Structure 1
Amino acid sequence: MADVAQKKIYKYKKVLSNPSRWEVVLKEIRTLVDMALTSPLQDDSINQAPLEIVSKLLSENTNLTTQEHENIIVAIAPLLENNHPPPDLCEFFCKHCRERPRSMVVIEVFTPVVQRILKHNMDFGKCPRLRLFTQEYILALNELNAGMEVVKKFIQSMHGPTGHCPHPRVLPNLVAVCLAAIYSCYEEFINSRDNSPSLKEIRNGCQQPCDRKPTLPLRLLHPSPDLVSQEATLSEARLKSVVVASSEIHVEVEHTSTAKPALTASAGNDSEPNLIDCLMVSPACSTMSIELGPQADRTLGCYVEILKLLSDYDDWRPSLASLLQPIPFPKEALAHEKFTKELKYVIQRFAEDPRQEVHSCLLSVRAGKDGWFQLYSPGGVACDDDGELFASMVHILMGSCYKTKKFLLSLAENKLGPCMLLALRGNQTMVEILCLMLEYNIIDNNDTQLQIISTLESTGVGKRMYEQLCERQRELKELQRKGGPTRLTLPSKSTDADLARLLSSGSFGNLENLSLAFTNVTSACAEHLIKLPSLKQLNLWSTQFGDAGLRLLSEHLTMLQVLNLCETPVTDAGLLALSSMKSLCSLNMNSTKLSADTYEDLKAKLPNLKEVDVRYTEAW
């Protein structure tokens, strides 16, 4: 039977290789499709062969009329219900979408094909023309009278009516299409930029004068006062030549006057620049002047709007945040005001989501790289407000496990000015930030501390919170005053409030051993535990103490020697933070969600660890 099918396919291939009259060809195509659909053989090649034959036929006959195009598409439509179109056929479909976006074929025939691609495609890298076809199809929908409303309904159909999309591949495939489409909008600028020396090449130094095209002007992020003062003069200058030395960058400019001063900037080391470094430019150009063509502008608007739509679905938002966390956009897009302004809605949705897996993606994907938090904070390339989004991001991050010294230290080093300005305007989150900086001794400079105190006392909410801070500091001094017991055990079923009440009753400067085993304390009690200066042994057996509290302990109780976490809900996310507690010599992680990899990591980073209990864990 297989031989019979192959003979029929060969026959049709031969007949269609020399078309004479297209009405006959169309009839043969329909017969070929019927043969493939009615064949009892369960063989993918039986269905793919007609598509490949038609694909070859169309590629060799480019002078067909529009009506003939549509007739052929309708004829092969039944085969496309369960098969992806081959590459050449995808190109033919793309052409039809571009030339006849309002054709009913786009809605009636292409829609189920694209839906199948989005639901089942596993890797657009192996079949880029499928992605291009999907991209052109969505643009064709956007060309209809209803425009984005049609696109929105298509996205809704892909998600489904329930609160959870049943097809896990839809979101990553849609994001891949969006990223490719947005990249294509800036392709002309990217190609121009690729002809210019990279920042790494400049830092490594070139011995010959550079004769490449000058780089595109990008938005200046952190102009120094000297550079800003020269901006007006440099804007009248014309770039004459670029001479790159091994340690400095010399840019000679030709002025209308007889003077010819040179601008010199330190090249720094030869390390790979991060995202913000790549956006640093000559002070002569404070913004990037990008004028997209009409088609590119429509494409950009369409696909940024799709990203907005995707961010509105609660079940898609965690994965979307994870996919966008590495900032997978060209730097030209990030320096384009229209793009960053439109994308701000997506970042705002991430900042409003209470789930840690979502808003944690605002931070950089790894150390040394910048994330959305940096880009949309004051001084960042994408910031276009007075810090409202920045305050929103800080608020949600501070409300989760990022209420730590490391996060506060980063804010103090990089964003202290914006924090003080927003606190001066009465932003409660920023007032809390400044109070925590004082409480955790983040600020070493005395003048800066006084300035922060003045800022806090300038508003009602700041003054009230600073007074509360002073009261806590007085209580802390009393708590840490030498005296009191060296060992303390709380009764079972004690709560966080009970622990706080007990520690506020006297001095515990000598407390070395604290047992909270079988109590009802949670991670919230960590803010009280970190105030015990002499604590060396802590028993949290069978409590609700979790990852957030563990992170806080790891930053403050660095002298802790014995820690019992048996039967607590801690996971790898919190246990990894223990690697900074170098004094630990005994650690009980019995019946926790410890993984084998985390256990090996802890053993490598805790040299003094002698006693470890990992029974009833994955590492056992």
Structure 2
Amino acid sequence: MALNSPLQDDSIHQAPLEIVSKLLSENTNLTTQDHESIIVAIAPLLENNHPPPDLCEFFCKHCRERPRSMVVIEVFTPVVQRILKHNMDFGKCPRLRLFTQEYILALNELNAGMEVVKKFIHSMHGPTGQCPHPRVLPNLVAVCLAAIYSCYEEFINSRDNSPSLKEIRNGCQQQCDRKPNLPLRLLHTSPDLVSQEATLSESRLKSVIVTSNEIHVEVERNNTANQKMTANVGNDSEPNLIDCLMVSPTCSTMSIELSAQADRILGCYVEILKMLSDYDDWRPALASLLQPIPFPKEALAHEKFTKELKYVIQRFAEDPRQEVHSCLLSVRAGKDGWFQLYSPGGVACDDDGELFASMVRVCNNVHILMGSCYKTKKFLLSLAENKLGPCMLLALRGNQTMVEILCLMLEYNIIDNNDTQLQIISTLESTDVGKRMYEQLCDRQRELKELQRKGGPTRLTLPSKSTDADLARLLSSGSFGNLENLSLAFTNVTSACAEHLIKLPSLKQLNLWSTQFGDAGLRLLSEHLTMLQVLNLCETPVTDAGLLALSSMKSLCSLNMNSTKLSADTYEDLKAKLPNLKEVDVRYTEAW
């Protein structure tokens, strides 16, 4: 009757489902055959409607008890597909999420196992390069996160077993005379614990999901090692970093054991995360969803989990898109991200820093990741402060990315301590690639000293149509230590010339009118030319992404952003952060 009614209303189909749901809750002694008959009978009603909560419980039970039933494939598949495509918030209907979890686990119990799951994920994505359903990925990720959390729930509930915050900070390498691990109870809760868990579930979830500030991945050096290192270099010097790297932590690795069932569930859902990371169109959103590290700290202390998840992080690191690999960094300042977790000494590092080097390199070009950090010098300072030792060790082993990092630290004068500088130089000279790059650095430094030597003109204008190569050739021809005013207006220079402009120590006025100078170059200028007073960006392709970096140029008095992609919000932000700004041109922009 409901299917044949000409009336159009959600309740026409929903009411019969509610009736069936109520009858099932009142009749708990039905046979398996009865279960399947009922499911087949109500299947047409589920084509355009989500199952109510009690019916979801009934479906979950059937998936657990008869995962190989044909009903799971023939009836539940379109229901779950509809849930993943149209559900907006699992928080309002958690049993839909539980049903989806149990359905995927039932697929994994079939003979083909993960191959069936993989085909299901592919059917949700579709055959084209772009998934047409924007809700599928966030819903799948929500299901995966909830399932992974459930694997560690018993471990979390057992306070004696849950790793302390100190252990997480120490890379989970101290056991502190803990009691033996208790076996994990997963999903199938005993009746006497159901009410207790329901009461505490929300508070537990909030307390154990990792926020970035809970994870400090630096390995704490023990007192003996510290005394030994400081004795070698004196009280006023930094510890010998190479020696520090060679000191193994004097603590055993903590072991987290899961039951066989929990292990299967964990393996299934981590594999799904791997599958999701293989789709190019899903990878940016997936990286963004995983950037806050939305896993319990117990999972990060579990070697199997972090080892399997490394594939996903590697996929992010290999992606050339800034929106993807920038998600390896922390959500905001003061928080740790995947970059820290998988760096040497981090909670998840098990490969002597190979993934760390890959994250820094990003497609064999260290400057790409640095560009995504917006401030190259700031990024190098952070590495020098927190990860200099691991960088030096990897460079010592011939890692080209780390060799380039150390050379950049020397070139930008990141390291103040003379002993540390000498140690970096020794590290570079210990390998062929390091020796070659250090020699190239020395050549550049000699050219830089010649360029910055006092003398030469105070004003310089390049002819129109000059290129980056022309500018580089001109600046290499003599001394420009006195150059204060440089006009590149109506030339063909691009952001690539910024690396030459930042070497002009006295530059106060720079005219880039009608050039192809963009955001990347602007970020580099704002980092190094902090004494610049006049800047003309009229008719350049700069956007808010680069213009925001100008807030660090506190000496700016005159700024021309005429005919750029400046927004009103960015303009207000710049006015608030540049106290000396007196002349501003924002004509033909959104801020005009």
CA distance in 2, matches of 1:167, 1:112: 15
Of 162-171 and 592-601, the range deviating more from structure 2: 592-601
Q: What is the SS of the residue equivalent to 2:486?
A: strand
Q: 1:389 to 1:67 in 2, by over 3 A?
A: same
CA distance in 1, matches of 2:99, 2:282: 23
The alpha-carbon deviation at position 198 of structure 1 amounts to: 8.1
Q: Is the 8 Å Cα contact of residues 239 and 254 (structure 1) preserved in structure 2?
A: no
User: Shift in Å at residue 590 of structure 1?
Assistant: 2.2
| CA shift for structure 1 position 265 | 22
Q: How far apart, CA to CA, are the structure 2 residues paired with 1:113 and 1:366? A: 39
Contact 2:522-2:546 within 8 A present in 1 as well: yes
Structure 1 residue 419 displacement after superposition: 1.2
Structure 2 CA distance, aligned partners of 1:570 and 1:169?
A: 33
Flag the 1:609–1:223 CA change in 2: closer, same or farther, 3 A: farther
Aligned to 2:219: 253
- The answer (yes or no) to whether the contact 2:171–2:301 under 8 Å persists in 1 is no
> Cα distance 1:261–1:192, how it changes in 2: closer, same or farther (>3 A)?
farther
The 8 Å contact of residues 91 and 133 in structure 1, kept in 2 or not, is answered as yes
Shift of the 344–275 alpha-carbon distance from structure 1 to 2, 3 Å rule, reads: farther
**Cα distance in 1 for residues equivalent to 2:585 and 2:458:** 25
Is the contact between residue 489 and residue 513 of structure 2 (CA under 8 Å) also seen in structure 1? yes
Report the Cα offset of residue 571 of structure 1. Answer: 2.1
Cα displacement (A) at 1:208: 25
Q: Secondary structure, in 3 states, of the residue corresponding to 1:244?
A: coil
C-alpha distance 282-113 of structure 1, shift in aligned 2 (>3 A)? farther
Q: 1:306 to 1:40 in 2, by over 3 A?
A: same
Provide the C-alpha distance between the structure 1 equivalents of 2:431 and 2:152, rounded to a whole number of angstroms.
46
The 10-residue stretch of structure 1 (269-278 or 440-449) with the greater mean CA deviation from structure 2: 269-278
Q: Is the 8 A contact 1:231 1:284 kept in 2?
A: no
Shift of 1:157: 0.4
Name the SS of the counterpart of 1:408 in structure 2: helix
| Distance (Å, rounded) in 1 between the aligned partners of 2:160 and 2:79 | 36
Asked if the contact 2:556/2:581 (under 8 Å) is kept, the reply is: yes
Using the alignment, how far apart are the partners of 1:335 and 1:168 within structure 2? 33
In structure 1, the partner of 2:363 is none
Map of 2:180 onto structure 1: 214
Q: Contact (CA 8 Å) 2:560, 2:585: kept in 1 or not?
A: yes
Cα distance in structure 1, aligned partners of 2:451 and 2:190: 46
CA contact (8 A) 2:530 2:552 kept: yes
TM-score, normalisation: structure 1: 0.80
Q: Quick check: 1:220–1:282 contact (8 Å CA) kept in 2?
A: no
Unpaired segments ≥5 residues, structure 2: 360-365
- CA distance in structure 2 between the partners assigned to 1:256 and 1:457 by the alignment: 30
Kept in 2: contact 1:205–1:246 (CA 8 A): no
CA contact (8 A) 2:173 2:253 kept: no
Deviation at 1:288, TM superposition (A): 2.8
Structure of higher CA gyration radius: 1
User: 1:74, 1:109 within 8 Å by CA — same for their partners in 2?
Assistant: yes
Closer, same or farther in 2 for the Cα pair 1:266/1:170, shift >3 Å? farther
Paired with 1:545 and 1:590, the residues of 2 have a C-alpha distance of 14
Contact 2:380–2:409 (8 Å) recurs in 1:
yes
Deviates more, 1:507-516 or 1:263-272: 263-272
CA distance in 1, matches of 2:97, 2:423: 55
- The Cα shift of 1:285 comes to 6.0
User: Distance in 2 between the 1:280 and 1:123 partners?
Assistant: 49
* DSSP 3-state at the match of 2:591: coil
Shift of 1:594: 2.2
TM-score by length of 2: 0.84
Structure 2 counterpart SS, 1:250? coil
Shift in alpha-carbon separation, 1:231–1:83, aligned structure 2, 3 A: closer
Classify the secondary structure of the residue corresponding to 1:488. Answer: strand
Deviates more, 1:511-520 or 1:551-560: 511-520
Render the CA deviation track for 1:212-271: whole Å, top value 9, x for unaligned. 999999999999999999999999999999999999999999999999999999999999
Query: Equivalent residue for 2:362?
Result: none
On the 8 A contact 1:228/1:283 being kept in 2, the answer is no
> 2: distance between equivalents of 1:464 and 1:47?
74
CA contact (8 A) 2:153 2:186 kept: no
Residues 326-372 of structure 1 show CA distances to partners (whole Å, capped at 9, x for unaligned) of: 00000000110000000000000011011111101110010111000
Q: Tell me how far apart the structure 1 counterparts of residues 256 and 367 of structure 2 sit (CA, whole Å).
A: 34
Q: What CA distance in whole angstroms lies between the structure 2 residues aligned with 1:42 and 1:71?
A: 27
1:563 alignment partner, SS class: strand
Given the superposition, is the C-alpha separation of residues 269 and 202 from structure 1 closer, same or farther in structure 2, using an over 3 Å criterion? farther
Tell me how far apart the structure 2 counterparts of residues 88 and 249 of structure 1 sit (CA, whole Å): 39
Give the secondary structure class of the aligned counterpart of 1:252: coil
Query: 1:616: Cα distance to partner?
Result: 2.7
Contact 1:249 1:265 (8 Å CA) reproduced: no
Q: CA deviation at 1:187?
A: 0.7
Paired position in structure 1 for 2:124:
158
1:11-36 Cα distance to aligned partner (Å, 9 max, x none):
xxxxxxxxxxxxxxxxxxxxxxxx11
Does the CA contact (< 8 Å) of 1:547 and 1:573 recur in 2?
A: yes
1:607 aligns to what? 579
How has the CA–CA distance of structure 1 residues 195 and 544 changed in structure 2, closer, same or farther, with 3 Å as cutoff? same
Q: Give the direction of change, closer, same or farther, for the CA distance of 1:398–1:247 in structure 2 (3 Å limit).
A: closer
Matches within 5 A, 1:412-491: 412-491=384-463
3-state SS in 2 of match to 1:538: strand
Question: What is the SS of the residue equivalent to 2:141?
Answer: helix
What is the distance in 2 between the residues matched to 1:484 and 1:359?
43
Question: How big is each residue's C-alpha offset from its partner over 1:173-197, in whole Å with a ceiling of 9 and x where there is no partner?
Answer: 1101100000110111222249989
Task: Kindly indicate whether the alpha-carbon contact (under 8 Å) linking 2:513 and 2:538 is maintained by their aligned counterparts in 1.
Answer: yes
Does structure 2 conserve the Cα–Cα contact (< 8 Å) formed by 1:311 and 1:346? yes
Confirm or deny: 8 A CA contact 2:452 2:479 kept in the other structure. yes
Question: Cα deviations across residues 289-332 of structure 1 (Å, max 9, x unaligned)?
Answer: 21111111011000000000000011111111011000000000
The farther-off stretch of 289-298 and 266-275 is 266-275
How many equivalent residue pairs? 586
**Alpha-carbon distance in 2 for matches of 1:390, 1:338:** 18
The more displaced of 509-518 and 190-199 is 190-199
What CA distance in whole angstroms lies between the structure 1 residues aligned with 2:195 and 2:101?
Answer: 46
Q: Kindly state the Cα deviation for residue 279 of structure 1 after the two structures are TM-superposed.
A: 20
RMSD between superposed Cα atoms in Å: 10.1
Q: 152-161 or 204-213, which moves further after superposition?
A: 204-213
* Cα displacement (A) at 1:439: 0.7
